[in-house]
Amino acid sequence: GESVGLHLPTLSVQEGDNSIINCAYSNSASDYFIWYKQESGKGPQFIIDIRSNMDKRQGQRVTVLLNKTVKHLSLQIAATQPGDSAVYFCAEGTYNQAGTALIFGKGTTLSVSS
Amino acid sequence: GAVVSQHPSRVICKSGTSVKIECRSLDFQATTMFWYRQFPKKSLMLMATSNEGSKATYEQGVEKDKFLINHASLTLSTLTVTSAHPEDSSFYICSASGGGPSIYEQYFGPGTRLTVT
């Protein structure tokens, strides 16, 4: 079946560096994409989302890029901090009234060293 | 706003017993709640989707008689793991949507760690 996947299972960066986490998706019908951060033993925490009719969206220290041509999604974290260490998941969804399940990618573990 | 809670946060039970996990939307009414399961170092796998007042829709491979889901109100859904076995040990996460700031966005609970001995 169709699924969302991540290119790298782990990413290690130095504090202050910029981090780029990538995700490839296969469902061209998805309406929106979301990045989540999950710390150990906790539920996913919403970071940022982007609709399929956009190619870039910026938040506080984060930017999500969407390339529908190659079905690629990325999350850029500027000036990465130790508190950013976590597992990051991309997820895709479709608008179907309310309550359409998300499909999650495999996750990238970001480790930030100071 | 859009806070989702789960209870208990951790539970240990003996093999063969049943365990109930509650998922509550605290400050909004959720028309739909989702139950996910997550194994260590793995992604979230959707188990079932439940809409208030109707039967849950289970994903392929999920036993509906083993994982009983009840969505009796717009703020509460329960997942009961019946006759639990060690292989049911996992992190169970619920999410709710339909009534928060965005009707499409899913708001996740903090998860419940189930350990079956």
Q: Is B108 within 8 Å of A107 when comparing Cβ atoms?
A: no
Q: For residue B69, what pLDDT is reported?
A: 95
CB B12 within 8 A of CB B115: yes
Q: How far is A29 from chain B (nearest CA, A)?
A: 16
Q: For residue A3, what pLDDT is reported?
A: 47
Residue B105 near chain A (CB below 8 Å): yes
Amino acid (1-letter code) at residue B16: G
Round to whole Å and give the CA distance between B46 and B62: 9
Q: For residue A2, what pLDDT is reported?
A: 38
Of residues A74, A6, A84, A80, the one with CA closest to residue A39 = A84
Residue B100 near chain A (CB below 8 Å): no
The model's confidence at residue A101, banded by pLDDT at 50, 70 and 90, is confident
CB A80 within 8 A of CB A18: yes
Round to whole Å and give the CA distance between B30 and A67: 32
Q: Is A41 within 8 Å of B49 when comparing Cβ atoms?
A: no
**A19 burial level (CB within 10 Å; 0-12, 13-18, 19+):** buried
Of residues A72, A105, A85, the one with CA closest to residue A12 = A85
pLDDT, averaged across chain A: 89
The model's confidence at residue A15, banded by pLDDT at 50, 70 and 90, is very high
Q: Among all chains, which residue has been given the structure tokens 């009719």?
A: A53
Q: Is B110 within 8 Å of A43 when comparing Cβ atoms?
A: yes
Is pLDDT above 50 for B55? yes
The model's confidence at residue A1, banded by pLDDT at 50, 70 and 90, is very low
- Is the pLDDT higher at B98 or at B76? B76
pLDDT tens per residue, range A23-34: 998 788 898 999
| Widest CA span in chain A | 45
